[in-house]
A and B are shown apart, each in its own frame.
Chain A
Amino acid sequence: MEKPSETILESANSWIETQQKVALATVIKTWGSSPCQIGSKMIINEKGDFLGSVSGGCVETNVINECLELMKNNISFKKIHFTIQDENAWSVGLACGGELTIFIEQIN
């Protein structure tokens, strides 16, 4: 359930208004235990500043890098899947044993 009190989109808007490129990452699927619910969001700008969260710190670094690539290469969106077997997820430590899919997209 998305809570309107969350202000991540408002922050995205204020970044955009200061002429920054912004990517939005959203949790769209989870399996097993996952600390963030479907709909959890994170925003990233070109400098790598970020707000919000898509996991309990397990995959954030990876998602930030993917978003930076997305903006650099001007790709509009991408789906990223993390599992416990996933080498990337292991290296950043998906300790909860869950799986999740994150949709990243540019806001423009």
Chain B
Amino acid sequence: MKTEVLKEIIKKKLSREDFAVLTNLSTSKSQIFDSKKLLSKEFENYENEINNYYNLKKNGVIDGTEIFILNYISPIEVIIIGAVHIAQYLIDLLKNFNFAVTIIDPRKYFTTEQRFKNIKIINEWPNKALEKIETSSNFALITLTHDPKIDDPALNYALKNKFFYIGALGSKKTHENRCKRLKEAGFNEKEIKSIHGPIGIKFGGKSTPEIALSIVAQLVSETNKLLLNSKK
């Protein structure tokens, strides 16, 4: 691989777009490929096969060729409402997975850079902050404040925009009250049930890192289901 290609891959990863890297295993020449990019001489004879693998996000040596394709998929976006203590543990755990994290919290004293290094923080009320983000059904929402005036607008937004994962922190009682409010706001039972509340898988832990781990386990599980379905 040429150093230029390496640098190009690193740059492309920051663009948060899907792309693939092609390597000719009989020459070690490689190039970046996406739907807009033309194939170089090294690869042009295998255009159909390459497109086929690319569209299916399939990795490996293309059958009957010496072409290796590796897909880079854009990260799943996770929005966290509440720059609270759990959020710090969450971010540490989420780093190991393919997630891009944004934290929203209108309370300035929580969102100090000292507590959240290299994380995108929006210091505004959720409804205002979410308007500024181009969201899709590939987004996940985690609400952590258990304060209705901060969490509820975000939950409303995520339900309307069909986020694939919505989780809300809070006790069973808090969640019951939350469901009542959402019902009053006009959401049907199916929509309300799609919220993971109380958030996280159950494994008996109550400490902050344990709660964070239980949330990440649930989010990763739901993300894997999403990726599996998108391949079908």
Contact = CB atoms under 8 A, between A and B. Distances in A.
Interface of A: 1-5, 9-10, 12-13, 16, 24, 26, 28-29, 37-39, 76-77, 79, 101, 103, 105-108
Interface in B194-228: 227
A29 B60 contact: yes
A7 to B, nearest CB: 9
A49 B116 CA distance: 31
A38 B60 contact: yes
B73 A4 contact: yes
Interface stretch (B33-41, B91-99, B131-139): B91-99
A1 B73 contact: yes
A3 B97 contact: yes
Contact of B6 (A2, A16, A29): A16
A69 B27 CA distance: 18
A1 B59 contact: yes
Contact of A107 (B3, B61, B95): B3
B25 interface: yes
Contacts of B119: none
Contacts of B2: 107-108
